[in-house]
Structure 1
Amino acid sequence: MTMDADSVRGIDRRRLLGWSGLAAAAASGAQLVTARPGHAAPARTDPDAIPPDARPGGAYDRYVAKLAAEDKFSGVVLLSHRGRTVLSRSYGMADEEKGVRNHEGVAFSLSSAGKPFGAVAVLQLVQRGEVKLWDTVGTHLTGFAKEIAEKVTIHHLLSGTSGLSNPDVDVRRVFQSREEVREYNERWARQAELVAAPGTPTDHVGAEVAIPALIVEAVTGTTYWDYVEEHIFRRCGMTGTAFCTRPRWLTDERVAHPYMELADGSRVDAVRNLDKDSPSPHQPGKNPGRNFIDAPGDGGFATAPDLVRFAHALTDGTVLDRPYAEVLTAAKTPLPPQQGGLRNGRAPGADAGFGAYSMPVHITNGQWLWGRAGGDPGVGASWNIYPDTGWVGVILSNCDGVPLWEIIDREIKAVTGGR
């Protein structure tokens, strides 16, 4: 699943206030309003102010607490402003069998919300001159169909415009080792077919994630997991984040277990019940516990504070020099309403959406929003960056039945002052 979020930079507010005599309005404390036909005009307030709805006890906090009380949320939500935690709440159990509660230090499965790590890894190679964005698949890999090897570029893959289709996946297979997961996904990626001209927008094509991961491995001589853990997680100080194996998932009390809903309405621990199937129409038979480790290019496990660290690292030069960070988040293609979101969802309240590299970016309530969401049975994850005002929002859940898109919508409204 996606959202499963990318330089498009917002107009500097102080420069904006200097135009057309608007500085006087700002000095007087007046709100600045920009109207658009057919839309309510968002209020422009001090970006350093903390909106009431985002504060502890505010509308967002009360809303999530209500969901948790109704057994509709288990996990962690966090709001950070300019590096300072404004709101942090934890609900439910990380491991019911062991009696471990969720808390800020617990890592949650990210599903598609971890895909941008792969794009950052590729851009690090581009920054070092080892890869070019116009390189075709065949520049670095063998074994792909001729038309893919010669026509599909790294840019096509990262921007979601490859024209590729997804090969069939064996969703019932139980993997026993990292090597087995890697070998299966490498064979799977080579079965991709070109079904449209490169440059044609696609939606949630797994081959567009798997192939760049293979390129990272081919160029660096190490596994995708090891490269990302060393060059992204460690650089960012993401000490609670990793690509966990199933044995660690079962034994480490700092890793949340996903509670998957079965057809009879009961919930089971998806890691401890590999024989159980999710009734999800999107992922029949999909059980995240069947993977020994997340496929290269996808997933990972992260704590909420670590995702805030990653968000800041994207803008302060920690993982990418500024020009390459701006390439990551720059709008590449406009997205129709049904794309760029969690499965076939959309960014709530977005005025416009665009595809960037491995994540969508949106203009919502007059400001930029970068982020990504993802989900599997028992898994929901979202991280949003509000670059114009310095906010970061994180939502991590570990049970089915969580209205993730509605929570994201409430987060956006709380942070941006939208209605």
Structure 2
Amino acid sequence: MGGGGAARAEGEAIPDGARPGGAYDRYVARLAAEDKFSGVVLLSYRGRTVLSRSYGMADQERGIRNHEGVAFNLSSAGKPFGPVALLQLVERGEVRLWETVGRYLTGFPPEIADKVTIHHLLTGTSGLESPPEDLARIFGSREEVREFYGQWARRAKAVAAPGTPTHHAGVEVVVPAQIVEAVTGMTYWDYVQENIFARCGMTGTGFYTRPQWLTDEHIAHSYMRQADGTRVDAVRNLDKGSPDPFHPGKNPGRSFVDQPGDGGFATAPDLVRFARALTEEGTVLSRPYAELATAPQRPKPPQGGGFAARTGPAPVPADAAFGSYTMPVGLVGGAWLKGRAGANPGSVASWNVYPDSGWVGVILANHDDVPFRELIEREIRAVTGRP
């Protein structure tokens, strides 16, 4: 059953498809009725909520329903926090985008330390290949996570010249986060909490640990589909993994806390706050640096199907698609669309900013089987009035 409502914000500017009872609202309700959506969708126009709907259970065992105040696992949708943190240091003159990894970190081989720049990392053009990850490992503390990924990143290999586009290389996310830590003397998680989440008023957002995930009623549990057709609560069943062929056996609950530079948990209203702070208000970066954070850096074609596509560019024909600093951006119908999506076993997340028209759209879900790409496309059609 849906929850939430709408504000009649300048009605003449609201496309019919984005209104309560409109095509998008009806589509999400149908998905929920068919057990294909559990979570929250939100459409905001110039800072005012136009449509907010919540479906399903945040915690089935305790009977807690999803609602706007529930935080969901972000996966790759949390990656842009890293470039924003780094650009804050650039703006203060403490970091320079053209300097190499070795300027700030030790332990990397010369072909990385002396040749790969921060700009290469943020644009996905480092030429690096990430080491394999042990998806079965169960972490027990934040310190263990930091130590592991510090060593893991230093096993990266340079497989192409810097400037060569890479494909979803995790080290391109972890290494900038480690630079933030080296320059500030704070953990990445604490720096982002203090300098991004707090400044944006994102009170329901954080890099929550496994114990918090288990006990806090404001954090949605992720329900993974199993090979036998059942769904299991990921964080309560660390022995269970996902049959997803792109991440076989993965369980996000094993991480204890998301690796530096990635993930986290957020509520839908908080993601609207972050999107507006980044693209309209100058809360986390001055306007020139905020524009740099979301500026098109290199052209890239839309991705194909599969897990990687669920975290890539918007699934619609674009006039032009680009990679920016850890975000896909593109022109759709002659207007900019900027945002980020992410998927983990048992959850999906997306936030999109439509800066030319003042819209923000958020999708957060906490079980598998969500037709994610189609859902994002329906949001885009609703907001832009496309048929």
Question: TM-score by structure 2 length?
Answer: 0.95
Percent sequence identity is 72
List per-residue Cα deviations over 1:348-384 (Å, max 9, x = no partner).
2222210000101011122100000001100100000
- Superposition pairs of residues 98-117 of structure 1, within 5 angstroms: 98-117=62-81
List per-residue Cα deviations over 1:12-31 (Å, max 9, x = no partner).
xxxxxxxxxxxxxxxxxxxx
List per-residue Cα deviations over 1:306-364 (Å, max 9, x = no partner).
00000111121100000000110110000122279961354222222100001010111
Q: Does 1:312 align with 2:280?
A: no
Query: Which residue does 1:338 correspond to in 2?
Result: 303
List per-residue Cα deviations over 1:360-413 (Å, max 9, x = no partner).
101112210000000110010000000000000000000000011110000000
Cα contact 1:164–1:192 (8 A) shared by 2: yes
* Aligned counterpart for 1:71 among listed residues 35, 42, 47: 35
Q: How many residue pairs were aligned?
A: 374
Cα contact 2:76–2:263 (8 A) shared by 1: yes
Query: Which residue does 2:337 correspond to in 1?
Result: 369
Unaligned runs of 5+ in 1: 1-45
- Superposition pairs of residues 111-126 of structure 1, within 5 angstroms: 111-126=75-90
In 2, Cα distance between equivalents of 1:320 and 1:189: 28
- Superposition pairs of residues 346-361 of structure 1, within 5 angstroms: 346-349=313-316, 350-361=318-329
Amino acid at match of 1:332: Q
Cα contact 2:246–2:307 (8 A) shared by 1: no
**Counterparts in 2 of 1:143 and 1:249: CA distance versus 1, 3 Å:** same
Q: SS of the counterpart of 1:354?
A: strand
Cα contact 1:334–1:355 (8 A) shared by 2: yes
Cα contact 1:76–1:90 (8 A) shared by 2: yes
**Counterparts in 2 of 1:140 and 1:103: CA distance versus 1, 3 Å:** same
Query: Which residue does 2:231 correspond to in 1?
Result: 267
In 2, Cα distance between equivalents of 1:297 and 1:318: 20
Query: Which residue does 1:176 correspond to in 2?
Result: 140
- How far apart are residue 69 of structure 1 and its match? 0.2
Cα contact 1:340–1:355 (8 A) shared by 2: no
- How far apart are residue 202 of structure 1 and its match? 1.3
Amino acid at match of 2:88: Q
List per-residue Cα deviations over 1:147-195 (Å, max 9, x = no partner).
1000000000001111111111000000000000111111111111111
Query: Which residue does 2:288 correspond to in 1?
Result: 323
Unaligned runs of 5+ in 2: 1-9
Q: Which has the higher contact order (CA 8 A, sep 6+)?
A: 1
Question: TM-score by structure 1 length?
Answer: 0.88
Query: Which residue does 1:401 correspond to in 2?
Result: 369
Q: Does 1:417 align with 2:382?
A: no
Cα contact 1:340–1:359 (8 A) shared by 2: no
List per-residue Cα deviations over 1:254-289 (Å, max 9, x = no partner).
000000011101000000000001100010110001
Query: Which residue does 1:10 correspond to in 2?
Result: none
In 2, Cα distance between equivalents of 1:225 and 1:266: 34
Amino acid at match of 2:335: Q
Bigger CA radius of gyration: 1
In 2, Cα distance between equivalents of 1:166 and 1:380: 23
Cα contact 1:340–1:354 (8 A) shared by 2: no
In 1, Cα distance between equivalents of 2:115 and 2:367: 41
- Superposition pairs of residues 52-67 of structure 1, within 5 angstroms: 52-67=16-31
